[in-house]
Amino acid sequence: YGKKKGKKMFVIFNEELRLKEEKRIKLTEILKKSLENGDFYLVYQPIASLKTGKVVSVEALLRMKNDELGEVPPSEFIPILEETGLIREVGYWVLSEVCKQINVWSERGIKDISVSVNVDIQQLLDKNFVQNVESILNDSGVNPEKIKIEITESEAMKFPDIVIDVLSRLTDFGIEIAIDDFGTGYSSLSYLKLMPLSYIKIDRAFIKNIPTDKDDNILVLSIVNLAKSLGLKTIAEGVEERVQLLFLKEIGCDYIQGYYFSRPVLPDEIEEIIKTGKTVQA
Ligand code: C2E
Ligand code: MG
Ligand code: MG
Ligand code: MG
């Protein structure tokens, strides 16, 4: 009996895997045509100052909605874009779209908002990357000071020498750099010092259990102090609760991003948030 049952479970397991794999293949095929089909769009999440309570910038986050599949979560389609290398082309689309949006906001009276754009390491390693970024910005007339580029710590530390060179050329052009998901990527401190960074984004995993988890409290405090000693600003990711905000304010973290203040939203809602002057309330 035991044997039989084991066999059956094995079959079910295989069937599940097969269906999952089929779905993946289907999604991959669809993603190859998503740019021309107009399946991609962007949402924006506000980043607010803990000093003034005001929104200082927004992060652009990629979304995908397809006629056949409906809304596909980023956790499903972004890894496929990365594995297939499609993220390079899509990444340039994201930057162009952000520039267009900055111009639209500007026409509507929102002039001093800056936008963070996530860049994948594959895009950054493209030898024309800096040139392409400069072209997109020049063509749209967007001031480079309005764009921030985010690269994850773990990806940046894979090829630190090249990354330092590319990021330096971007900062020469006027773009600021943030290191994303900080704390999860085993930074070499000597490389960290050499990177032309302006911001450290503390990964959500460390923010999640403050202030109850004493170890996480110490880790977050250490990251904030490390950033300060390097002359960098800190942004806490994934702030969902008031107690987290109070702790972060207390230890001198500069900015927060998270559901507590706002989820990622469509451009019109960003306009609303800015125009009504919504502030972070502790
Ligand atoms: P990320 O750059 O670290 O972005 C922050 C993620 O945390 C976003 O997930 C955001 O929706 C989520 N988030 C924000 N506040 C909260 C909160 O309070 N609680 C929780 N639980 N989550 C929160 P999202 O949009 O699903 O994006 C996931 C990741 O996908 C991003 O992480 C980024 O690495 C990547 N990604 C998104 N858009 C792009 C893009 O245009 N290009 C590239 N290369 N990667 C992108
Ligand atoms: Mg990011
Ligand atoms: Mg990535
Ligand atoms: Mg992050």
Question: Is the separation of the CB atoms in 280 and 48 below 8 Å?
Answer: yes
| Higher pLDDT pick, 185 / 280 | 280
Q: Which of 202, 95, 71 is nearest to 148 (CA)?
A: 95
Closest residue by CA, ligand 1 atom 2: 118
pLDDT of residue 2: 47
Q: What is the mean pLDDT of the chain?
A: 94
Residue 60: strand pairing partners:
44, 117
Percent of the chain with pLDDT over 90: 88
- Single-letter amino acid code for the residue at 112: D
- In ligand 1, the atom with minimum distance to the C-alpha of 260 is 18
Write down the ipTM of this complex.
Answer: 0.98
CA 61 to ligand 1 centroid distance, Å: 6
pLDDT of residue 28: 97
Q: Which residues are close to ligand 2, an ion, with C-beta < 5 A? A: 118, 150, 180
Q: What is the DSSP string of 188-233?
A: -HHHHHHS--SEEEE-HHHHTTTTT-HHHHHHHHHHHHHHHHTT-E
Residues with CB under 6 Å of ligand 1 are 45, 61-62, 74, 78, 87, 91, 94, 118-120, 150, 180-181, 204, 237-240, 257-259, 264
CA 116 to ligand 2 centroid distance, Å: 7
pLDDT of residue 4: 55
CA 12 to ligand 2 centroid distance, Å: 38
> pLDDT tens digits for 219-263?
999 999 999 999 999 999 999 999 999 999 999 999 999 999 999
- In ligand 1, the atom with minimum distance to the C-alpha of 43 is 25
Closest residue by CA, ligand 1 atom 17: 238
Rounded mean pLDDT of 128-149? 98
pTM for this prediction: 0.95
Closest residue by CA, ligand 1 atom 19: 238
Long-range pairs of 71-77 with CB within 8 A, sequence gap ≥ 24: 72/27, 76/27, 77/27, 77/31
Q: Which of 39, 47, 72, 78 most suits a substitution to test ligand 1, by most atoms within 8 Å of the C-beta?
A: 78
Q: How far apart are CA 46 and CA 59, in angstroms?
A: 7
Q: How many CB atoms lie within 10 A of CB 188?
A: 10
**Distance set, CA 43 to CA 112, 123, 158, 209 (Å):** 18, 21, 29, 26
Q: Which two tokens stand for residue 2?
A: 């035991």
> pLDDT tens digits for 146-199?
999 999 999 999 999 999 999 999 999 999 999 999 998 877 888 999 999 999
Task: Give the number of the ligand closest to the Cα of residue 184.
Answer: 4
Q: Using the predicted structure, report yes or no on whether residue 1 has a pLDDT greater than 60.
A: no
Closest residue by CA, ligand 1 atom 33: 118
Residue 168: strand pairing partners:
none
Task: Give the number of the ligand closest to the Cα of residue 81.
Answer: 1
